[in-house]
Structure 1
Amino acid sequence: MKYKYPNKVPFYKFLIKSATIAKNPIPFHNKWFNELGDTFAVKSPFYGHIVLTRDAAIAKHMLQKNHKIYHKSKIQTTYLSKYVGYGLLTSSGDYWLKQRRLIQPAFHKEKIQNLVEIINKAINEQVNEINTEGFVELYPIMNELAFEVVAKSLFDFTAEKETLKRLRFIIEKLQLFIVKELRMPYKKIWYALSGEMAYHMRLVKESRNIINTIIVQRRASRDEHDDLLDMLLSAKYEDGTTMTNEQLIDEILILFVAGHETTANALTFTLKLLAKNKGILTKVEAEIKETSAKGLTSLQEISQLNYTKCCIEESLRLYPPAWITDRVNIEDDKIDDYVLKKGTIIGASIYELHRNENYWENPEVFKPSRFFEENRKKIMPYYMPFGAGPRLCIGNNFAMYEMILAVNAILKKFDLFTDNNIIKINPLITLKPVDVKMRFVLKKSEN
């Protein structure tokens, strides 16, 4: 077969900039997209052909239309799974499908709605702890809030606070080391000799032991908790069996890792964008004040906070936490005019796709009205903050409910002020905000 690839960046150009690209690949992606078009290729002597795209049709082809022949790359199935287990995020093929079918019902909208009061209570407890003395680093506050929400939604209120604190510490340590290992694989021998690898593998074992203890206690308990752990424990495969403790640990670790950092990132970006766009912030505050006066339940409030939801969606467009996704084709494939050899790595830059002028008018501008009901049909084919196709993020409804409730709770209580209008990013496994400071001033009604 005659293979045909997109315009290529010579490998030497990639090589001479490799150290800078390792720190932040986005400016280089952007430069090559602008020079070569919405899809380009690099031929690496180590990995073969690598294709990068910001073309929605190509992204949809590999994630949705022809997803069966596109599997997750080794970055996720090998490197990540070593630390966070072989769960939904890191598995592929038949095992992934089996797990997805088993776990999906626990994340249906109706099930998540049952958790709303637990989520809202956890959020309010964290919001009440926010420091009002001058400017504070925003991300650590949102990180703790998101972790508490996942922990309490998973385990209700049964796990000890110190245990959860230790689990959070371990997960954050592991994530930092995963990034180091991915970005600097040439240091692998040093990681082994210095004891870093052994230290982090001990942390993996400790995290699994913590979760296993919680599972064993819950299995022995006769109490009912309307939380995700109860749902996962009772979920049955087609043959009537349930997940083993090891499988449960894998899935719970993935929920912690994928479920708290992405939301913390998104909330940090959203609050920063609101604080620097005062006209939009005023509209959100007015909607929250009007909704709050109606004496609704938390679930009813979510359904009323439409403009707030549009602001979060627009923030996810500009700063998608899952900023890039990659796949490898397990068979030769044809996409548009391209003929790709089996084993080609394709990366879809969601960050660039969401800022592609072919799909978005003034893409750099924060404009929540893009997501008004009358505009949604036009833009949704190009909007993928939670991915697309069968591997669409299982926690998307959970995340949206949590973010709406968090913005609602914060803006009910505080006026927001930012120290500058600059937004800096660090594209690690997720897109992380850098150096975001915020001042929280109690509203007069709260004084």
Structure 2
Amino acid sequence: MSVNKKYNYPPKLSILRFFLDAEGVRRNPIPYHKNYFDSFGDSFSIKIGSSKHIILSRDNEVAQYILQKNQRNYHKSKFQSVYLSKYLGKGLLTVDGEFWLRQRRLIQPAFHKQKMNQLVDNMRLTIISELDGLIVDKKIDLFPVMSELAFNVVAKSLFQFSIAEEKLNRIKYIIEEVQNFLIKEIRLPHKVWWFSISGQVKKHLELAEENNKIIQGIIEERVNSKNEVNDLLNMLLETRYEDSGEGMSIKQLIDEIKILFIAGHETTANALTFTLHLLGNDFDVQEKIFEEITRIESETDDVVEQLQKMTYTNAVLNESMRLYPPAWITDRQNVEDDTLGEFNIKEGTLIGVSFYELHRNPKYWENPDDFNPDRFLGEQKKHSMQYFYPFGAGPRMCIGAGFAIYEMCLAISYIVKNYKITSAGKSVNFNPLITLKPVGVEVVFSKR
């Protein structure tokens, strides 16, 4: 773009309103975002200082452009590349450019469908073991149960050999502590000095280092044992870079495993919690899943075949993730000046896409706030998939999407086959952190 070309941006949110709303946005940005979109349209901007701009959008064309069509010009923002990598290291989630591409090509084969099929039996047994003792006929807070389930599925899929319970519990604790502090750092940048001098940054960096040592110990134990085990750790140890024929360093392997724990644990727990809440308010949909599972199990004993036939269960999960996308927002910064739709934007513009709002944008969805799994069946599915981003899009689409779908279908089918679900309330509360985290979602399970 010529230096003489004039930059122009979407309608501007005043800096005064931005600061007046700042504390409310920190607590829960989603209601504020909705108000801004209702006021300004599908994209709006904020000007910070004399030249820095932020754009937030729920426009599908913007999402497609920065994530797919011109993704090479859009790198992850410093929120992800700096803040996250400080604690999580340099794994697929936090890096960009050639290093990211090299890592993606290396790790992709471990998540190929055939490899995922090999993990299904272990996944199913973990789910049965975790859900066998569900409390019945009593209201329970659902998210902690789903969080424990999802964490153990990831842990057992990564490390099939039994790892000491206290080690896994410590990993889980550290991940949650570090993530909660990360959110404070991102949402309260004016308090960075306080976080530093009060010792909070040091404390959380030490926790992250402790996590590294626990995971390193698990890896070294596996390497020294010479055992070949059918789990993700073994698959990752076997991967080789195309150019050198070498495997990942221990340090890189630790970073990728941390990312897998975070990306594969909380997002799945979120999606399962929201799905069960929606099912607990819709007994017809529950019964349709029950009928589908009963029919499929009468047709085949093969678990992979069963998963491939769960058309309706998949539609329910998709509709749940449309309403409550686990990764509810993403952001990018353009490396060079660019034209984004009708706007000429300067390099370094921070662009956020709210999947939560895009998934409820009435321009793309009829009755967008209604729970309707039929959107993802038959001819309607083709339309819906154009505007649907449960795992992102483009080359950086979540590498573990297939793993997550398998896990969620297995969990939902087991629960619906054995229990009836009743939600304690119609509405649902959530906390938009790095992921969209459900809060105080209560259900009652009763035996079928």
* TM-score interval (norm. to shorter): over 0.9
Matches within 5 A, 1:299-378: 299-378=304-383
Whether 1:77 aligns to 2:81 is yes
Whichever residue aligns with residue 255 of structure 1, its letter is L
TM-score, normalised to structure 1's length? 0.97
1:394 pairs with 399, 403, 406, which one? 399
Consecutive unaligned residues in structure 1, runs of 5 or more:
none
1:149 to 145, 153, 165: 153
Asked if 1:440 corresponds to 2:415, the answer is no
Query: 1:369 and 1:47, CA in 2 relative to 1: closer, same or farther beyond 3 A?
Result: farther
Question: Which one-letter code corresponds to 1:165 in the other structure?
Answer: N
| Separation (CA, whole Å) in 1 of partners of 2:335 and 2:423 | 48
- Where do residues 230-249 of structure 1 align in structure 2 (5 Å cutoff)? 230-238=234-242, 239-249=244-254
Equivalent residue letter for 1:233: L
Alpha-carbon shift at residue 294 of structure 1 (Å): 3.8
Q: What is the DSSP-based 3-state SS (H/G/I as helix, E as strand, rest coil) of the residue aligned with 1:49?
A: strand
Shift of 1:289: 2.4
| Separation in 2, partners of 1:185, 1:343 | 18
Q: Quote how far apart the aligned CAs of 1:313 are.
A: 0.4
CA–CA distance in structure 2, aligned partners of residues 361 and 159 of structure 1: 48
- Per the alignment, residue 9 of structure 1 pairs with 13
The residue number in structure 2 matching 1:282 is: 287
Q: In 2, Cα distance between the equivalents of 1:182 and 1:36?
A: 25
Letter in 1 for 2:80: Q
Q: Which amino acid aligns with 1:9?
A: L
For residue 428 of structure 1, report the CA deviation from its aligned partner.
Answer: 0.9
Hey, what's the Cα distance between the residues in 2 that align with 1:101 and 1:379?
Answer: 29
Query: How far apart are the structure 2 equivalents of 1:180 and 1:129?
Result: 36
Q: Which amino acid aligns with 1:26?
A: I
Deviations 1:22-43 (A, max 9, x none): 1111112111211211111111
Q: Return 154-163 or 167-176, whichever deviates more.
A: 154-163
1:361 alignment partner, SS class: coil
Shift of 1:277: 1.2
Q: Distance in 1 between matches of 2:198 and 2:343?
A: 45
Give the number of equivalent residue pairs. 443
Determine the structure 2 residue equivalent to 1:103. 107
- Of all paired residues, the percent bearing the same amino acid is 48
What residue identity is the alignment partner of 1:364?
A: D
Q: Aligned Cα RMSD in Å?
A: 1.3
The question of whether the paired residues in 1 share the 8 Å contact of 2:338 and 2:344 is answered with yes
Equivalence map 1:104-253=2 (5 Å): 104-132=108-136, 134-238=138-242, 239-253=244-258
**Structure 2: stretches of 5+ with no match in the other structure:** none
Aligned counterpart, 1:414 = 419
Aligned-pair CA distance for 1:425: 1.7
Q: Residue 382 of structure 1: SS of its match in structure 2?
A: coil
Residue aligned with 1:9, SS: coil
- The one-character-per-residue Cα deviations of 1:196-255 (angstroms, maximum 9, x if unpaired) are 222212211111001101111111122111111111111111211110000000000000
Distance 2:425 2:45 in 1: 37
Q: Secondary structure at the match of 2:399?
A: coil
Question: Aligned letter for 1:21?
Answer: V
Q: 2:43 aligns with which of 39, 46, 69?
A: 39
What is the distance in 2 between the residues matched to 1:275 and 1:415? 8
56, 61, 64: which is aligned to 1:52?
56
Instruction: Tell me whether 339-348 or 28-37 shows the greater mean CA deviation.
Output: 28-37
2:286/2:416 contact within 8 Å kept: no
Deviation at residue 295 of structure 1 after TM alignment: 5.0
Cα distance in 1 between the residues matched to 2:378 and 2:223: 45
**Residues 1:91 and 2:69 aligned together:** no
1:38-71 Cα deviation digits (max 9, x unpaired): 1111111298100111111111100000000100
Q: Secondary structure at the match of 1:180?
A: helix
Quote the offset at 1:90 in angstroms. Answer: 0.4
